[in-house]
Amino acid sequence: MSQVANPLNQLEATEQSILFGALELFKRGEYGLAEPIFGQLLARNPRNYIALYALSVIESIQGQVDKALERVNASIDIKPDFAKSYLVRSILHRNQRSFYEALKDAQTASELDPSLVESELQIQSLKDEITKLSAESMVALQPTPEERTQIVDVMAQADQFTKSGQAELAIKAYQDFLSIPGVEHGYIAMFNLAVLLNQAQRVEEAVNLLKASIQIKSDFFMAYLSWGTIIEQLGKSDEAIGIWSLCLDNPLIDHPINTDTKIKILNNIGRVQENLRRYNESEATLFKSLVADPNQGPVLHHWIHLRQKQCEWPVIYGTQHTEEEVLNSASPLSMLGLSADPKEQLDCARKFVKEKVGQFERMVPFKHRYGHQKLKIGYLSSNLSMHAVSLLTVELFETHNRDNVEIHAFCWSPEDGTPFRERVRSAFDHFHTVAGLSDEAAAELIKSLEIDVVVDLQGLTSGARPDLIARGAAPVQVAYLGYPGSSAMPYVDYVVADHFIMPLELLPHFTEKPLYMPTVFQVSDSKRPIATTPSREAFGLPEDKLIFCAFNNNYKFTPEVFESWMRILRACPDSVLWLLEDNVWSKTNLTNAAMAHGIHPDRLRFAGRINPSDYLARFRAADLFLDTTPYNAGTTANDALWAGLPILTLSGQTYVSRMAGSLLNSIGLNGLITFTHDEYERRAIELYNKPQLLAQYKNQLAAAKSNKKLFNTEVFCREFETALKSLFE
């Protein structure tokens, strides 16, 4: 419930209900009732920009211009992209006859939210619009003393009960209030009571109250939001979408005063649609959200990523956003596939850390020595389950020399119930589930156990807990595998690398120092079973043609890489390209793109997702893996080579674009590493025309596997332990 109906994403559920109640009073013009509530919220959280904004409006009505300006300036400092604050300041400047400053602020408001001001060029039109909005927003409906006392008092009383841990008394306070015949503002009390009941696991009662509040006030959209969220939490995603969609059907949702709520509704629907893998619907919903407010960086990039998943090219299409704006809004993980520039990737990570990660004093000094006989290594991850990271590392956990090291897991993974999850769990000496602990408490646990080295397998990927890592709970913290780039995180001291994946020229673009492995950066699981290889016919592949394959996730495909593949197919007539079918929309778009390049659809074949052993066997039905860039295959490259399939890769300037090249370099298959699109295409065509050369690469790969040159977890583990111990010498 609280996840959706929370403008600041920082408040407890009870605080949210107070904020929403105050906002409802504010929207109705009942400023006398709203003012003390906003003041209470601001005392609790001085960075509540919404409370600052609302109080600036109220104080401007009261003629306290200087105080209102102070409030709105503080709101802008905290949230510089909140357009309404600029509009209020413009009005205040106009009232002070500072017309130049008023116009400048109004223009800023117009740029952030064009719906607020009709024209930014015509001064008189701008003045008229400000005057109009001012007249609408300054209407104060004076409540009676009884009304003023009742709603404010019950909210304050319930809040005090909640803060003192007496939730049942808070519930009773609202119930008593609602029992008064003809009570005013009942729908607000119902909403607040529903929040408390939902927290108390009285879900049915909470839902009934939300429905009742809507019966009283049909445009009480916050109640719809909370109702839908409760239903979603019950696992009824489609029903939740239906509830939220009722808001969008209400014509009042398009009133400017409801814009923020409309955006929340659209973003909720889009999020759930994506979770249901209805990517096309999610993309369309988030597009509507961006039309309502283009200045939503996270939503913009999420929409872009949905287009990437569907291979909707050009990815940036139909909006007013430039490529630069898209890059500025990108998450660090998605930037790995959007940019081939290591500086841009580092800048993006630094921006994320500055905006999202707390600043803490390091809990344990760098390279502090506990003096343990055995090195205590703690692996941190939410992916210690059936996930690519664990598929690579599980044998490493099993192979660690217990005479020298003691290994701990600090895990917040969901239980997937698979035998593989149990294999991972049993590989550790100590398995700590920290999902229920706060970041601070989890860091204290790491410190109390005197962990010497934290190995962060998560980085800045989905499910990360950067505020846990940023506390520096171990003397040495090392980044590995999860995020193939610089995290720019405080107190992440090293990143596991080798000299190919991280050459000297890349070092300035990492905040971490390289922890170089003598052989290769990537560990492997040499216990992976490979099923019996079916015939090509079983996969719907021709027996008499060369099979290129590219089983990377579809979002790694770019128009540039796809164009290279099409040129390769044109030059290699007796070949087909075998791709992963991640979703039906990507399959359609890739097929259409191939036809636009003059390639018959029959030359593209698609494979669905299957269980791991059959997936590995499938590689053996292909002749050559064509890698993607700037986001290389990682675990997939390891899998292909383990199955005996050569990879042709295109290495760039970034860590993530050199992953497959690192693996090939470690076993002497440098002839399969290219550095330009032209070279990449020529080499693929050469291998098509020289089957004996391709066979030679396959023989070299088979020999490397037989000699355990690449897939020797025991050697990697020994090198890794030695490297970690050397950090304390």
Domain extents in the chain: 31-137, 169-347, 375-516, 536-711
What is the tens place of the pLDDT at every residue in 466-513? 999 999 999 999 999 999 999 999 999 999 999 999 999 999 999 999
Higher-confidence residue of 36 and 433: namely 433
- For 84: left if phi > 0, alpha if psi spans -120 to 50, otherwise beta; the answer is alpha
Quote the pLDDT of residue 12: 52
Burial degree of 263 (CB within 10 A; 0-12, 13-18, 19+): middle
Do the domains at 169-347 and 536-711 have one common CATH topology? no
pLDDT at 119 over 90: no
| SS3 of the chain: helix, strand, coil, percent, to 5 | 55, 10, 35
**Superfamily of domain covering 536-711:** Glycogen Phosphorylase B; (3.40.50.2000)
**Superfamily of domain covering 31-137:** Tetratricopeptide repeat domain (1.25.40.10)
pTM of the predicted model, to two decimals? 0.79
Quote the pLDDT of residue 86: 83
What is the tens place of the pLDDT at every residue in 17-44? 777 777 878 877 888 888 888 888 888 8
- What does the DSSP 8-state code read for residue 52? H
Quote the pLDDT of residue 638: 96
Nearest to 510 by CA among 525, 526, 524, 494: 494
Quote the pLDDT of residue 4: 30
Cα–Cα dist 591/603, whole Å: 9
Mean pLDDT of the chain: 88
Quote the pLDDT of residue 183: 79
pLDDT at 130 over 60: no
Quote the pLDDT of residue 98: 62
265-295 burial by CB neighbour count: b if 16+ within 10 A, else e? bbbbbbbbbbeeebbebbbebbbbbbebbbb
Nearest to 85 by CA among 95, 96, 93, 73: 73
Indicate the residue type of 589: N
Quote the pLDDT of residue 647: 98
Higher-confidence residue of 189 and 571: namely 571
Class of domain 375-516: alpha beta
Cβ(289)–Cβ(302) below 8 Å: no
CATH 3.40.50.460 fits 169-347, yes or no: no
Average of pLDDT values for 133-160?
Answer: 52
Cβ(18)–Cβ(222) below 8 Å: no
pLDDT at 623 over 90: yes
Confidence band, pLDDT 50/70/90 cuts, at residue 96: low
